[in-house]
Structure 1
Amino acid sequence: MRARPPAGAAVLRPEKTEAIIAAFFGELGGCGYEGLTMDKVAERAGVGKAALYRRWHSKKEMLIDLVGRYATEAVLPPDTGSLAGDLRAVAEDAINVLKNPLVRNVIRALVAERRRSPDLDAVITEKFIEPRRAAGAAMFQRAMDRGEIAPDSDPEMAQDMFGGPLYFKGVILDEDFPTDFAQRLTDGVLRSLGAVRLTR
């Protein structure tokens, strides 16, 4: 299911488009998917409902389109030259994103809805999960190539050990992150992998 390409009167000024996108994610984070309506999005964005329906047939189509669009913009792991540096950078980026209560609420809404919507599940898997798993695997492969971790290390398990605490503390427990959380998480994962050095 894809949004219709805007044309003619459906082409809005950039500021209106940004207002619609902000309103959509604001409503999704505040009300969840079940409570979200096209009427509420239009009212919050300060536009007529017709501006939305010219682009999207339904809130489900809008959800799939916007989530797919913005999932591709999420930050991928950098290449700092060391596994410790890579992990620390990713952890700090994730913590900065998860500090926003709206982001936490949007994630909860998406996790709940993707199990009910095969279309949304496919978009999240293709646009967000698979690219990041591949980038994470490449990050650990670089560490193997540099001799930082053993060649038989398990990159998939390492990614779960690294991402799990971030998700659990930020989204499930809804707690603030201590200032040293990124470093502690990095050190813990490196120790579990038997990394040859811990750099700070």
Structure 2
Amino acid sequence: MNSSTTRRVSGGPVLQDDVTEAITDSFFEELAAVGYGKLSIEAVAKRAGTGKAAVYRRWPSKQAMTVALVSGAAVAATSTGDTGSLRGDVTQLLHEFTAALRHPMTARIMPDLLAEATRNEGFAAALLATIGNPRRENAGRIIRRAIERGELPADTDVELGLDFMVSPLYWRLVVTNFPTEDDYLERLVTKIVSALAA
């Protein structure tokens, strides 16, 4: 009998976690290699050493698989641990965001997914619901904690503040792909904290 951990989908079959992990790894490898447009469940299954049925038992379609796996990785990459100060929280967020954006797999996958989102409204809406909104909500906790501590005014514009927090870094690392000096994040944090407090 296989000793791997198993779990049961409500009303469905028992799923083996080691198979799910193999499919997940293979999905990201295949996505990075061929892009979303050429991605196929058959290719992911073959790379994982399993059959298409194993993939379909977990996700009903290529889009569902992509949204679930990409969103799980993206949201997990951003924590909102309380460091005790606004500056500390923003610093932690930007360091984690930088590490995620500089990961070789992310660098290959993200531009392709964003391009697909411009062509596919349903895909774009799914990414917003499962990645954009949760990550924005996580980052919003940083601003709300700072308000509670008295570091920011009670009438701070949280929505505008969220735009300030990650957009400059995303622009620098993803859009322009400019190099960053050793003290870049420290200087950026200073600007962001000052803008939030203004």
Using the size of structure 2 for normalisation, the TM-score is 0.79
Q: Could you report, residue by residue, the CA deviation over 1:95-137 in whole angstroms, capped at 9, with x for unpaired residues? A: 1112212112222222222344444333322332222323323
Q: 1:180 to 1:30 in 2, by over 3 A?
A: farther
Shift of 1:71: 4.5
Show the 5 A alignment for 1:37-56. Answer: 37-56=40-59
Deviates more, 1:85-94 or 1:172-181: 172-181
Q: Report the counterpart of residue 172 of structure 1 in structure 2.
A: 175
Match of 1:81 among 76, 81, 84: 84
Q: Report the counterpart of residue 156 of structure 2 in structure 1.
A: 153
Instruction: Give, as a single letter, the amino acid of the residue that structure 1 aligns with 2:13.
Output: A
Q: 1:101 to 1:176 in 2, by over 3 A?
A: farther
Instruction: Give, as a single letter, the amino acid of the residue that structure 2 aligns with 1:23.
Output: S
Q: Report the counterpart of residue 6 of structure 2 in structure 1.
A: none
Distance 1:59 1:131 in 2: 22
Distance 1:62 1:43 in 2: 15
Show the 5 A alignment for 1:177-188. Answer: 177-188=180-191
Instruction: Give, as a single letter, the amino acid of the residue that structure 2 aligns with 1:25.
Output: F
Partners of 2:26 and 2:48 within 8 A in 1: yes
Partners of 1:4 and 1:56 within 8 A in 2: no
Match of 2:13 among 7, 27, 32: 7
Match of 1:33 among 36, 47, 62: 36
Distance 1:188 1:48 in 2: 51
Q: Report the counterpart of residue 198 of structure 1 in structure 2.
A: none
Q: Report the counterpart of residue 128 of structure 1 in structure 2.
A: 131
Match of 1:98 among 98, 101, 124: 101
Q: Does 1:107 align with 2:110?
A: yes
Instruction: Give, as a single letter, the amino acid of the residue that structure 2 aligns with 1:66.
Output: L
Partners of 2:77 and 2:100 within 8 A in 1: no
Distance 1:176 1:50 in 2: 44
Q: How many residues align?
A: 190
Distance 1:117 1:79 in 2: 37
Q: Report the counterpart of residue 166 of structure 2 in structure 1.
A: 163
Partners of 1:32 and 1:106 within 8 A in 2: yes
Distance 2:112 2:12 in 1: 27
Q: What percent of counterpart residues are identical?
A: 35
Distance 2:87 2:93 in 1: 10
Structure 1: state its 5+ residue gaps.
196-200
Deviates more, 1:103-112 or 1:180-189: 103-112
- Specify which structure has the bigger relative contact order, considering alpha-carbon pairs within 8 angstroms and separated by 6 or more residues: 1
Distance 1:7 1:174 in 2: 45
Structure 2: state its 5+ residue gaps.
1-8
Distance 2:53 2:149 in 1: 56
Q: Stretches of 4+ moved more than 4 A in 1?
A: 3-6
Q: Report the counterpart of residue 24 of structure 1 in structure 2.
A: 27
Distance 1:161 1:72 in 2: 19
Instruction: Give, as a single letter, the amino acid of the residue that structure 2 aligns with 1:134.
Output: E
